[in-house]
Structure 1
Amino acid sequence: MGLSWKEGVLTILLGAAAASGLTTLILFLVEATSILLPADTKFGIVFDAGSSHTSLFVYKWPADKENNTGVVSQALACQAEGPGISSYTSDPALAGESLRGCLEEALALIPEAQHRETPTFLGATAGMRLLSQKNSSQAERIFAEVARVLSQSPVDFRGASLLAGLDEGAFAWITINYVLGSLLTYTFSGEWARPPEATLVGALDMGGASTQMSFVPGGPILDASTKASFILYGSSYSVYSHSYLCFGRDEVLNRLLARLVQVRPARAGRHSGLARHPCYHSGYRATVPLAPLFESPCVHTSMPPGAAQNLTVEGAGNPGACVSAIRELFNFSSCEGQADCTFDGVYQPLMQGRFYAFSNFYYTFHFLNLTSGQTLDTVNATVWEFCQRPWKLVEVSYPEHASWLRDYCASGLYILTLLLEGYGFSEETWPSIEFRRQAGGTDIGWTLGYMLNLTNMIPAKAPAMKQAENYGVWAAGIVLVGLTLGAILGAAAVQLLWPRD
């Protein structure tokens, strides 16, 4: 039996709707593919030449999104073998050679065709700042050897430079807030917007030779030497930043030992002096050479004449005496009666907001299992209890941490002294500090902010929303297809059911 005229009409309409819908869907799938498939990737390399070691970081970002926010991610973190480059004064060539291992790892990760266009930087921090003060010619030779090795590598090497303390802190502040999306956000209304200032976080960094504090205060910054100004995505920021040279973990430990040493002239038949260290665990005993201790520019006293070349150190396990010794490293009296002063006469405006504490802040507290938001009372009790443990018990409990094990007590008590008595955190503001190694899968530090700044990847104006607009067009098209198909099918149904005259 043949089709009725109504069935024929319906068949034709449905066929047309199907053909139209399929054609439109193919077109939008092609557009969607161009949006959703990953774009070509670009890479950047930054060496962090710190006082105790050098680290390499590789960052990557989609090539067609260079001026958008939140697109840079960390692709590799590598720690170079050996100490920091400032340690190679006797053989500067080794400073450059020490970078080759990590550089080879980076080049293996980055496609060979992109090596020549990969911007590569080296920034040296407090270790080289100290060496530059002590012996500028030695520092220049080390920089020359580092530049020689990196210039010979198949990358776009853009220089090795000494990073000022102010910049080290400020770039770390950019890194954290960039990764957390606190500089720019995309709203539901389809516009870029500056997040509320309350979402900005401060940066607390501690390396081997210096420690930095950076944040946006609630009022003006009255000391121009502590002010870093940026225009990021069309918004102006005035960041307070200060670096305390000689207050990094390693230099504090050296200064502490040098201050505690009551060197005794070697007696007949003896080859070392003897000192009891309140920050070392009871039962700990070691012999250390004295000369390297007094070579640091941070130790302002010289080795006493007639002193033994070596020193035998015994632990006392006395956290109260340890805190007293640590306090002697600060000049708190220089800030008496001043609300905007920390120690050693350093200006600091009133703190506000949350803070991320990283590097040695994090590593020390992570070892002590204190990175989960514990109260200040719990933190204090935990550090003091650890300091009072006998050395034999500590050795057995933490065999994998042997190289730094004797120093975690002093480091923990130093961090508490610095944060509470130095920077001015209190029991009420303590919960605002988060101890973190990473944010958004990226290691926290100055390197990402440094690269973003030098490659101009953070524009002064908010980025255009071409890609988001494409998504909107795509979604609107899908809706239009649905409405069109619905209208056709509705019309067909009406024609089929409408009675003949």
Structure 2
Amino acid sequence: MGHNHRDVVFIVLLGATIISGVIALILFLVDGSDIFGLPDTKYGMVFDAGSSHTSLYVYKWPADKTNDTGIVSQALSCDAEGPGISDYVNDLVNAGESLRPCMEKALALIPEDKHQETPTFLGATAGMRLLREKNSSQADRIFEEITKVLGQFPVNFQGAQILTGIDEASFGWITINYILETLVKYTFSGEWIQPSTAEMVGALDLGGASAQISFLPLGRIADPSTNAIFRLYGYNYSVYAHSYLCYGQNQMEKRLLERLVQTRTSEVVRNPCYHGGYEDTLSLADLYDTPCVQSSQTSQPVQSLKVEGTGNPEACYSAVYSLFNFSACLGREDCTFDGIYQPQKHGQFYAFSGFYYTFHFLNLTDGQSLHTANETVWEFCQIPWKQVEASYPEEKQRLYAYCTNAMYILILLTSGYKFDDGTWSDIHFSKQVAGTDIGWTLGYMLNMTNMIPAEAPVLQRAESFSVWVAGVIFLALTIVMSIGSGVIYCFWSPD
């Protein structure tokens, strides 16, 4: 009988040991936070106050991974109703009120106990840069109204500011390389490595008032004003970054219209970039209400002019091309236009914002060749306006401008940034990567919250995790031994 008892005890101990071994293996292979719902989640918010509209982005990340890479994810995006904040100069109260619905939507998503600690920022770009140049007191009053409204919410609002052009360009570069994990990677063997710089990509951004380009050049940057210097994960980066103010889509269109107004031969302005049959009324007060457009007359004899589209892509190309001063480069290879320095570019580029939206509309975001892009734009611009309206009933607001914008993008990317038939395939027209919108906002938040460290991450988390696992295994084995001892005692203890 004792022999049978010992067999039973052996089986119990063996089973318990196997179970504890399985538990230990699971704990080694699975993050304890996946089992117990830890660690805590943190949130951050950034308003992108662009020239034509404002968007709010909510980001989240595990609290114990603040210094890791590729762990920030986008939890929400919200487009505020109405125009960009720079357009509220005569309606100051609504500059702030227009942001309220997106804030309420964001706070409904973020757990209430996280509201007070959620860092919240508002960054304004070229629209406000132009307004500050035109009337700095108006820009200040808009920010005051925004601060008044956002300050009413129970968040850690850290103020509103105007980004410089080089900041807007370089934060876009940080964003795309961060979410692609080309800054630093954590390997399966548990080591942090710096990927080859050849894996890093450039950023092409197109807004309503400005256009940005940023990339990591092969050699040194000759013009210090275009050199954005970062120390990220223990490595130094010298990024070429430039913002072309007045070269955003809306300001480019105004500059084009102003040129057509000045060269018209009648009271009707004929625009070759508008579809044949399109008609509109052009307010001269609105046209000249920007530092990007300089009036050649002290006073306008008329308040508005009629505009008619002619749908002529060849004439459209010539008219848009004339907005660039290519002769200012004097034949230099390291120059784009208007005398602006640009080192030799290389590698892959992600084109987002206006680049993506315009080419997505034309179904040109799937790797089509430059020849196909040119052909598509040319054909689209020649379609009569009534046919365009009937074909795209949901695109009423900016439908008339797609031909102009597409022609402009072609000229900017080829004659300006010098992409050609061979390098056109290096451009990826994208809105998101891994569920995160591409833009400057994520890079801005990472910078403002110091979530990208200057030094390489250390393995503190891995070490602490190993200690935790060892403790759990020790506890499991202690339980097993206790069970075994109890069983032995029950079977062999005297009556």
TM-score (norm 2): 0.90
Does the 8 Å contact 1:35/1:467 carry over to 2?
A: no
The reply to whether residue 34 of structure 1 matches residue 32 of structure 2 is yes
Match of 1:14 in 2: 11
Distance 2:80 2:440 in 1: 17
Distance 1:252 1:321 in 2: 16
Structure 2 matches for 1:115-134, cutoff 5 A?
115-134=115-134
Does the 8 Å contact 1:264/1:307 carry over to 2?
A: no
The alignment partner of 2:340 has SS state of coil
Structure 1 residue 105: Cα displacement = 0.7
The reply to whether residue 346 of structure 1 matches residue 340 of structure 2 is yes
1:276-317 deviation per Cα after TM superposition (whole angstroms, max 9, x unaligned): 110011111222222210111101224574532221111111
Does the 8 Å contact 1:56/1:78 carry over to 2?
A: yes
Aligned partner letter, 1:257:
L
Match of 1:172 in 2: 172
Does the 8 Å contact 1:280/1:315 carry over to 2?
A: yes
Distance 2:161 2:54 in 1: 14
Aligned residue among 306, 313, 321 for 2:307: 313
Distance 1:343 1:116 in 2: 47
Distance 1:27 1:275 in 2: 78
Distance 1:17 1:147 in 2: 66
The reply to whether residue 192 of structure 1 matches residue 192 of structure 2 is yes
Match of 2:451 in 1: 457
Distance 1:368 1:265 in 2: 33
1:454-480 deviation per Cα after TM superposition (whole angstroms, max 9, x unaligned): 100011122223455677789999999
Identity score, percent: 59
Structure 2 matches for 1:355-434, cutoff 5 A?
355-434=349-428
Distance 2:458 2:184 in 1: 13
Match of 1:89 in 2: 89
Aligned partner letter, 2:302:
A
Distance 1:424 1:142 in 2: 38
1:232-271 deviation per Cα after TM superposition (whole angstroms, max 9, x unaligned): 11111111000000000000011111111257799xxxxx
Structure 2 matches for 1:91-240, cutoff 5 A?
91-240=91-240
Query: What RMSD over aligned residues (CA atoms) do the two structures have, in Å?
Result: 2.4
Distance 2:206 2:137 in 1: 27
Does the 8 Å contact 2:115/2:154 carry over to 1?
A: yes
Structure 2 matches for 1:326-345, cutoff 5 A?
326-345=320-339
Moved more, 219-228 or 297-306: 297-306
Match of 1:495 in 2: none
Structure 1: unaligned runs, 5 residues or longer: 267-272, 481-501
Match of 2:435 in 1: 441
Does the 8 Å contact 2:271/2:308 carry over to 1?
A: yes
1:399-432 deviation per Cα after TM superposition (whole angstroms, max 9, x unaligned): 1111111110110010000000011111111000
Aligned partner letter, 1:392:
K
Does the 8 Å contact 1:47/1:122 carry over to 2?
A: yes
Distance 1:437 1:78 in 2: 15
TM-score (norm 1): 0.89
Distance 1:362 1:304 in 2: 39
The alignment partner of 1:399 has SS state of coil
Match of 2:253 in 1: 253
Moved more, 378-387 or 470-479: 470-479
The alignment partner of 1:347 has SS state of coil
Structure 1 residue 142: Cα displacement = 0.9
The alignment partner of 2:122 has SS state of strand
Distance 2:188 2:56 in 1: 38
Distance 2:137 2:41 in 1: 40
Structure 1 residues 113 and 97 mapped into 2: Cα distance closer, same or farther (>3 Å)? same
Structure 1 residues 251 and 188 mapped into 2: Cα distance closer, same or farther (>3 Å)? same
Distance 1:351 1:192 in 2: 28
Structure 1 residues 410 and 73 mapped into 2: Cα distance closer, same or farther (>3 Å)? same
Distance 2:470 2:411 in 1: 59
Match of 2:60 in 1: 60
1:42-78 deviation per Cα after TM superposition (whole angstroms, max 9, x unaligned): 1101111110011111100111111111111001101
Moved more, 426-435 or 27-36: 27-36
Distance 1:466 1:305 in 2: 69
1:115-165 deviation per Cα after TM superposition (whole angstroms, max 9, x unaligned): 111101111100000011111111111111111211222110111111000
Moved more, 36-45 or 60-69: 36-45
Aligned length in residues: 471
Structure 2: unaligned runs, 5 residues or longer: 475-495
Does the 8 Å contact 2:24/2:472 carry over to 1?
A: no
Structure 1 residues 22 and 400 mapped into 2: Cα distance closer, same or farther (>3 Å)? same
The alignment partner of 1:363 has SS state of helix
The alignment partner of 1:358 has SS state of strand
Aligned partner letter, 2:172:
A
The alignment partner of 1:122 has SS state of strand
